[in-house]
Amino acid sequence: MSDIQTWTLVFVVITFGIYIYIAYASRVSNTSGFYVAGGGIPASANGAAIAADWMSAASFISMAGIIALAGNGYAGSVYLMGWTGGYVLLALLLAPYLRKFGKYTIPDFVGDRYSESARLVAVVCAIVVSFVYVAGQMAGVGLVFQRFLNVGTTTGVVIGMAIVFFYAVLGGMKGITWTQVAQYSVLIVAYLIPAVAISAELSDIPVPQIGFGQILAELDGLQQDLGIAAYTEAFTQTSMMNMVLITAALMFGTAGLPHVIVRFYTAKSVRAARYSALWALFFISLLYTTAPSIAAFSKLRVIQDLDGTALADVPGWFNTWADVGLITGADGGAVADANGNGVIDFTSEVVINNDIMVLAAPEIGGLPAPIVGLVAAGALAAALSTASGLLLVISSSVANDVYYKRINPGATEARQLLVGRIAMGGAILVAGYLGINPPGFVAQVVALAFGLACASFFPILVLGIFWKKCTAAGATAGMLTGLTVTMAYMIWTVDIWGNSAGIWNIPETGFGTIGMLINFAVTITVSQFTRKPSPLMQELVEEIRFPGRTDLVAKHAHGEELT
């Protein structure tokens, strides 16, 4: 074993051991604990769990790589703007009201607010979104094991599946929540240490959020010398329209993510849900304000290390990542001196996978092996934390919204838990398969999930809270139309069909915004001509938007008949 592999194994064993211990200590025996951790998680801990749940492998592994390698930093900034803006939107516009409504899941809210038919459509949407999203997480797990432990992707995914199965099935939401608190601690330390070290080395400023501004002019000049647009120049990789569409799809998709929304049900109260959102925003900002600096620093060092360098003189990190197929030549094979000038031409002879920039940052920066191992453990923490939240959404959708609410309303707590755990196990198997055979690199797959959430959930959640006359038929038609149109477009624009340019060159990652607008239009139009909700439901919708705990809301939260 190399030093890097040894330290990676040490950190992986330690962190996985912590996760398993927390899961065992947090095991549950009732549905409230399994689905929403009994609604008793303190705001600060809940905020850390929300941050870990939300900051997936895409945030940890891929985002800085996209910012760095999308041609320039501006084009990749859609992920920063979309994901952070979406969280603020979720925290202010949806989370407190959904928490006050008092249901376990988005399908639970949809079923009570609209109808049982709408609930089933929401279940389908939640499962589709969650499986697309979880594919990216498990792919990230396989990538880390492949590079740092010299373990095949399939074996790495299977190991990740086993760990998630243990703490998710045993502890449900309670075990997942406290495990995610630990996972957030691991991932943020792993992310910040190399950023601080590289910032201090390249800019003499140990605060990366400030330091990276010192090297942008140099990076702009390097890129222009290579004949490509400056790193900070706008609209060189994509049009203004697509920047808006992609940012909006990520933003509104974030606000509609089922595994993040359910987190606010684990808070002790509506007030605690608001404070959870505030804590989560702080925890998220630590990583999201650091990602642009890692992108800029890594891009600068990569260009300096590779362009104009003979293949025999490349740094060690280049060969280690080339050996696992994540640095290739322009044709997808080994990097070669295609033009015969004796050195590497960065713009035409090297293709670097987006997913390696953060994982390789410690090596690129010349940091010691323990830091490299810590970053690997942080990447696994990011992937597994989000995967477990998504798998719980799938499990609760099947066990609570289909089995208990539709098939067997008289099921005991023990039977509901059994079905939930069986559903969780089945979901983990499917997730593992998707991780071994992902349909794209990590962040791209995740971006598709955000587009589907944007097109299916966001409109009916907003209208369900702020428009008391939104009808069941309207919500059902809107969800089905938004999901179907968006998924069809994503499938249609896959390269194998030869339609990758799409309509008006709108990328699949931005079409969720169009699907959302179609959903809004269909829901509002159909609601004008169909039966309105009952007067009591309309009154309840009015009451959940006001502070305090009214009698009607209290009765509904406890499952009492509304009279």
Helix (H, G, I), strand (E, B) or coil at 327: strand
> At residue 341, does pLDDT exceed 50?
yes
Q: pLDDT tens-digit profile of 294-304?
A: 888 888 888 88
Tell me whether residue 306 is exposed, middle or buried, using C-beta atoms within 10 angstroms of its C-beta: 0 to 12, 13 to 18, 19 or more: buried
Q: How confident is the model at residue 496 (pLDDT cuts 50, 70, 90)?
A: very low
What are the structure tokens assigned to 369, written together?
């092996």
Phi/psi-derived region of residue 314, left when phi > 0, alpha when psi is between -120 and 50, beta in every other case: beta
Q: Give the whole-angstrom CA distance, residue 413 versus residue 153.
A: 38
The answer to whether the beta carbons of residues 511 and 245 sit under 8 Å apart is: yes
What are the structure tokens assigned to 547, written together?
């502070």
| Predicted pLDDT at 474 | 95
Give a yes or no: residue 152 inside a domain: yes
Q: Give the whole-angstrom CA distance, residue 225 versus residue 114.
A: 59
Give a yes or no: residue 403 inside a domain: yes
Q: Give the whole-angstrom CA distance, residue 43 versus residue 215.
A: 38
Split into its structural domains, the chain has a count of 1
Contacts of 174 (CB under 8 A, 6+ apart): 26, 27, 28, 33, 34, 37, 38
Give a yes or no: residue 31 inside a domain: no
> At residue 37, does pLDDT exceed 80?
no
| Predicted pLDDT at 471 | 95
| Predicted pLDDT at 17 | 86
Q: How confident is the model at residue 563 (pLDDT cuts 50, 70, 90)?
A: very low
| Predicted pLDDT at 460 | 92
Query: 278-289 burial string, b = 16+ CB within 10 Å, else e?
Result: ebbbebbeebbe
> At residue 549, does pLDDT exceed 70?
no
What are the structure tokens assigned to 418, written together?
């059994």
The answer to whether the beta carbons of residues 474 and 523 sit under 8 Å apart is: yes
Give a yes or no: residue 112 inside a domain: yes
The answer to pTM > 0.85 is: no
Give a yes or no: residue 57 inside a domain: yes
User: Per-residue pLDDT averaged across 418-439, rounded?
Assistant: 81
| 527 CB neighbour count, 10 Å cutoff | 22
> At residue 42, does pLDDT exceed 80?
yes
328 pairs with which residues across the strands? 351
Q: Give the whole-angstrom CA distance, residue 385 versus residue 367.
A: 26
What is the CATH classification number for the domain harbouring 115? 1.20.1730.10
Helix (H, G, I), strand (E, B) or coil at 76: helix
Mapping DSSP onto H, E and C, the string for 237-282 reads CCCHHHHHHHHHHHHHHHHCCHHHHHHHHHECCHHHHHHHHHHHHH
What are the structure tokens assigned to 211, written together?
């330091």
Q: pLDDT tens-digit profile of 250-293?
A: 889 888 877 777 777 777 777 777 788 888 889 988 988 898 88
**Which residues constitute the domain of residue 134?**
3-23+40-532
Give a yes or no: residue 541 inside a domain: no
Q: pLDDT tens-digit profile of 395-407?
A: 888 887 888 888 8
Q: Give the whole-angstrom CA distance, residue 278 versus residue 47.
A: 7
Give a yes or no: residue 423 inside a domain: yes
In the chain, the percentage of residues whose pLDDT exceeds 90 is 10
| Predicted pLDDT at 552 | 59
